[in-house]
């Protein structure tokens, strides 16, 4: 029996590769002949680097970069098994989780560290870069990123030295003469699952600014600054990106990657599915097992297991989902393609205990799931 195991990570507990291995162990403990294909997956957000590196036999690298407040940190990125494709997560260098609550300030925070990760990937000889841009702390439209890649931004006083969303209206000129020349020969693919434009009521500042520390007045000023910067990008670079769906992702980093790197914005899970050759594995299998840390009504809205279901159902395959917990509305998932849904929790326990014992419970649950499946067949 051929089984494809394609889960996301269990957040704060198990990476996707470990989830794959645990489910496989639970099945292999049972009598029978098993042909198991393990494909750790993600949706383009947290865990994408590890999932793609593990799935393709790639490698993880570490790089000194500046965090959103320009403090030195170590961030990781990956190079896939082909040796030429890098995968980075913006959150590793410029993410909101890198800041304390009281430090969040999109007027000041910068995407400079993300540009440093891109440059590190170029230094490794990569000619293709996949960027996950969820979880940002910034609202600078990629200004900092572009600076790290060699772009110069001019103000009335000379070269703009400061960064952050508060500086965008100060840009009076853009000099790309020292922009890293390797960018022209590099394919940039951006995992972007939101359709927000750069500016306006549905743009980066109004929708995401408050969670990054902006009060209503700062939100208004940040949006105005993005308008000014977008007009400058169009006037000087011919980049009319203000209303492109996804331009407002990650505080406008989507717009910056479009304008400075010629990026393509694509659905996160579809990028991962393509890079891991998920459809090739599904084509000749009997059962698909997916999962993530929490399965609930929100799972249907672009989460990894939903992507797995869509691909599996294209081949008419049954899909079982295993979650760390089952949240409100998880029953709705039966209506959209999930055939069976299980939680790994088998008794009352604290969150801390659940996190510590998650792998062990996952092995047991996978075994119970397969016993049920075999009995039903």
**Burial degree of 53 (CB within 10 A; 0-12, 13-18, 19+):** buried
| pLDDT tens-digit series, residues 103-153 | 999 999 999 999 999 999 999 999 999 999 989 999 999 999 999 999 999
The domain spans of the chain are: 2-41+277-376, 48-268
pLDDT reported for residue 377: 79
Q: Are the C-beta atoms of residues 209 and 266 closer than 8 Å to each other?
A: no
297: Cα separation from own chain's centroid? 20
Q: Are the C-beta atoms of residues 362 and 19 closer than 8 Å to each other?
A: yes
Which value, in Å, is the radius of gyration of the alpha carbons in the chain? 22
pLDDT reported for residue 350: 86
Beta strands in 213-318 (DSSP E): 264-266, 287-295
Neighbours of 102 (CB within 10 A): 7
Largest pairwise CA distance in the chain: 76
Q: What is the side-by-side order of every strand in the sheet holding 85-89?
A: 59-66, 72-79, 85-89, 128-132, 187-191, 264-266
- Pick 48-268's CATH classification: 3.50.50.60, 3.90.1510.10, 3.90.420.10, 3.40.50.1980: 3.90.1510.10
Upper half-sphere CA count for residue 68 (Cβ side, 13 Å): 29
pLDDT reported for residue 159: 84
The β-bridge partners of 62 are: 76
The β-bridge partners of 136 are: 95
Q: Give the SS3 label for residue 157.
A: coil
DSSP strand pairing (35-38 vs 85-89) = unpaired
- Pick 2-41+277-376's CATH classification: 3.30.310.50, 3.40.50.10350, 3.40.190.10, 3.20.20.70: 3.40.50.10350
| Closest listed residue to residue 97, CA positions, set 219, 200, 10, 11 | 11
| pLDDT tens-digit series, residues 56-83 | 999 999 999 999 999 999 999 999 999 9
Upper half-sphere CA count for residue 232 (Cβ side, 13 Å): 21
Q: Do the two domains 2-41+277-376 and 48-268 of this chain adopt the same fold?
A: no
pLDDT at 230 over 90: yes
Dist CA 20 CA 4 (whole Å): 9
pLDDT reported for residue 198: 97
| Closest listed residue to residue 85, CA positions, set 122, 54, 51, 110 | 122
Neighbours of 185 (CB within 10 A): 8
pLDDT reported for residue 249: 94
Q: What residues contact 157, with CB distance under 8 A and at least 6 apart?
A: none
Could you say which DSSP state residue 25 is in? H
Upper half-sphere CA count for residue 322 (Cβ side, 13 Å): 30
| pLDDT tens-digit series, residues 316-347 | 999 999 999 999 999 999 999 999 999 999 88
pLDDT reported for residue 371: 95
pLDDT at 364 over 90: yes
Let me know how many helices (H) and strands (E) the chain has, helices first.
13, 14
| pLDDT tens-digit series, residues 292-302 | 999 999 898 87
pLDDT reported for residue 356: 87
| C-alpha dihedral (273, 276, 277, 279), degrees to nearest 10 | -40
N residues, the chain: 377
């Amino acid at each position: 029996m051929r089984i494809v195991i394609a889960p996301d990570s269990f957040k704060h507990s198990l990476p996707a590769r470990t989830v794959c291995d645990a489910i496989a162990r639970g099945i292999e403990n049972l009598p029978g002949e098993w042909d198991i294909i393990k494909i750790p997956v993600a949706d383009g957000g947290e865990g994408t680097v590890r999932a793609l590196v593990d799935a393709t036999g790639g490698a993880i690298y570490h790089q000194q970069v500046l965090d959103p407040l320009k403090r030195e940190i170590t961030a990781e990125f990956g190079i896939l098994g082909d040796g030429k494709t890098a995968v980075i997560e913006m959150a590793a260098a410029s993410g909101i989780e890198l800041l304390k609550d009281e430090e969040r300030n999109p007027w000041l925070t910068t995407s400079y560290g993300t540009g440093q990760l891109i440059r590190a990937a170029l230094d490794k000889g990569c000619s293709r870069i996949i960027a996950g841009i969820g979880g940002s702390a910034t609202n600078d439209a990629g200004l900092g990123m572009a600076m790290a890649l060699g772009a110069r931004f001019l103000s009335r006083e000379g070269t703009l030295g400061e960064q952050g969303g508060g500086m965008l209206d100060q840009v009076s000129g853009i000099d790309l003469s020292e922009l890293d020349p390797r960018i022209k020969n590099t394919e940039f693919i951006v995992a972007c699952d939101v359709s927000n434009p750069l500016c306006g009521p549905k743009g980066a500042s109004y929708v995401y600014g408050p969670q990054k520390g902006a009060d209503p007045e700062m939100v208004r000023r940040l949006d105005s600054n993005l308008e000014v910067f977008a007009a400058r990008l169009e006037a000087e670079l011919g980049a009319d990106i203000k209303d492109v769906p996804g331009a407002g992702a990650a505080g406008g980093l989507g717009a910056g990657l479009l304008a400075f790197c010629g990026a393509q914005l694509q659905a996160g899970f579809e990028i991962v599915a393509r890079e891991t050759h998920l459809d090739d594995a599904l084509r000749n299998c009997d059962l698909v097992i997916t999962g993530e840390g929490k399965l609930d009504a929100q799972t249907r809205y672009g989460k990894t297991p939903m992507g797995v279901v869509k691909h599996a159902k294209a081949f008419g395959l049954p899909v079982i989902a295993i979650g760390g917990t089952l949240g409100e509305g998880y029953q709705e998932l039966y209506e959209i393609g999930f055939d069976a849904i299980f939680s790994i929790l088998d008794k009352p326990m604290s969150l801390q205990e659940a996190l510590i014992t998650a792998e062990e419970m996952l092995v047991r649950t996978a075994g119970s799931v397969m016993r049920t499946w075999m009995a039903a067949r």
